[in-house]
């Protein structure tokens, strides 16, 4: 029997998206064929914190040996069968410190990186492939600084990981947003209302802008540009007047905000990356539109249909692009591992697969270019030519 080329560990962190399982399958199948042993780390970085470095301990809750039989059944499905979490080992609250580490970490916030490194050594991991957004990958960058061989894969519905035009999950999010917006039109049209649809997008408005560009809405409001609700009411009123069915649609990024107001949060509690849960801006905008609408509708208010898409665009199977791109990303990750290139982020830039240094994920924030792609006066996409533009136009 040929000697193993080493051990590769895979983990997924942050929110689930369609396309994670195809990526896990692609990495595993290729790695096994190349002679590697493959481990799946359960629940993202939480698995590497909770694992007990004892040969007699039951660590099945924290890791699993991956085989072709295991991954072949999940490659066509959504979500992540390895599960996920928003754990940040460098900022671990005392309340979730595992019992076997309780005596070691007694501060309110703890850095458990030494145990993560110890557990990677205990498992015999030679190469780590984390799949996640900028939060998950910011800790991957920390491990790269600590000497771990890391090759990262970008994932997020918001498509806002720096260094890549595309992140796993974005296409399915856009596809579902367009589909659901079109389905909601029947209710908006039946009642002659404004239709407010809240979509993902904490800091970047790609998930609102691209569906609007594709005809899913008349207007969109995005985090990059604080807006005036009276202007939005005026624009939607014009759109409604021109529509034979007497309705108009606006897509709202969850991180959008009106002038001189902050983002809208569901509560005060923040995750380990400092993010409070967003949600409810669609409610505030719907109320603002109804209050402002009489000025543009002969003194009569326009009622509003308000829908938050939320997990409807996260769940279910990946579309074609989120089946193909993860396969390519997984294979490129193996190419990098086998060529000895570490500290890399697999990427897609102007239609070409490649990789960039992983430190790009913490070097800047990836946002919509307002000058190129958004008309702040009309609250809608703006583009002068599509010649020589990449597939998703606004994400490069």
Active-site amino acid positions: 158
Would you call 45 helix, strand, or coil by DSSP?
Answer: helix
Instruction: Give the residue among 333, 331, 330, 328 at the shortest CA–CA distance from 344.
Output: 333
Distance from C-alpha of 193 to C-alpha of 377, rounded to nearest angstrom: 23
Distance from C-alpha of 146 to C-alpha of 141, rounded to nearest angstrom: 9
CB atoms within 10 A of CB 46: 24
Q: Helix 20-33 and helix 321-338: axis angle, to 10°? A: 40
Distance from C-alpha of 144 to C-alpha of 358, rounded to nearest angstrom: 8
Contacting residues for 16 by C-beta, under 8 A, at least 6 apart: 78, 79, 80, 84, 314
Let me know how long the chain is: 396
Phi-psi region at 302: left, alpha or beta (left = phi > 0; alpha = psi -120 to 50): beta
């Amino acid at each position: 029997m040929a000697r193993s080329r080493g051990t590769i560990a895979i983990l997924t962190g942050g929110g689930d998206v369609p396309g994670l399982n195809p990526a896990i399958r692609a990495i595993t199948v290729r790695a096994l064929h190349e002679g590697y042993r493959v481990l799946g780390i359960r629940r993202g970085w939480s698995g590497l914190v909770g694992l007990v470095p004892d040969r007699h301990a039951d660590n099945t809750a924290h890791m699993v040996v991956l085989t072709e039989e295991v991954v072949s059944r999940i490659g066509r499905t959504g979500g992540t069968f390895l599960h996920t979490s928003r754990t940040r080992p460098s900022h671990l609250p005392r309340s979730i410190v595992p019992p076997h580490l309780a005596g070691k970490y007694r501060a309110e916030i703890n850095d458990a990186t030494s145990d993560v490194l110890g557990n990677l050594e205990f498992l015999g991991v030679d190469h780590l492939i984390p799949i996640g957004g900028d939060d998950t990958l910011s800790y991957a960058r920390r491990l790269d600084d600590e000497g771990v061989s890391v090759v990262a894969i970008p994932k997020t519905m918001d498509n806002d990981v720096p260094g890549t035009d595309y992140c796993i999950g974005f296409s399915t999010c856009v596809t579902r947003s367009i589909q659901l917006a079109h389905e909601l039109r029947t209710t908006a049209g039946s009642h002659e209302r404004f239709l407010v649809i809240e979509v993902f997008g904490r800091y970047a408005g790609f998930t609102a802008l691209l569906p609007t560009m594709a005809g899913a809405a008349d207007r969109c409001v995005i985090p990059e540009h604080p807006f005036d609700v009276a202007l939005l009411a005026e624009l939607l009123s014009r759109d409604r007047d021109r529509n034979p069915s007497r309705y108009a649609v606006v897509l709202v990024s969850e991180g959008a905000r009106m002038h001189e107001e902050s983002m809208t949060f569901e509560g005060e509690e923040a995750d380990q990356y400092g993010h409070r849960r967003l949600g409810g801006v669609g409610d505030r905008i719907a109320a603002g539109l109804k209050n402002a609408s009489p000025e543009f509708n002969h003194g009569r208010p326009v009622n509003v249909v308000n829908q938050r898409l939320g997990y409807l665009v996260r769940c279910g199977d990946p579309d074609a692009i989120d089946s193909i791109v993860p396969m390519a990303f997984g294979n490129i990750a193996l190419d990098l591992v086998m060529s000895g290139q570490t500290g890399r982020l697999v990427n897609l830039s102007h239609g070409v697969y490649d990789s960039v240094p992983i430190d790009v994920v913490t070097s800047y924030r990836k946002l919509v270019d307002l000058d190129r792609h958004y008309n702040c006066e009309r609250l809608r996409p703006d583009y002068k030519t599509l010649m020589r533009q990449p597939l998703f136009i606004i994400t490069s």
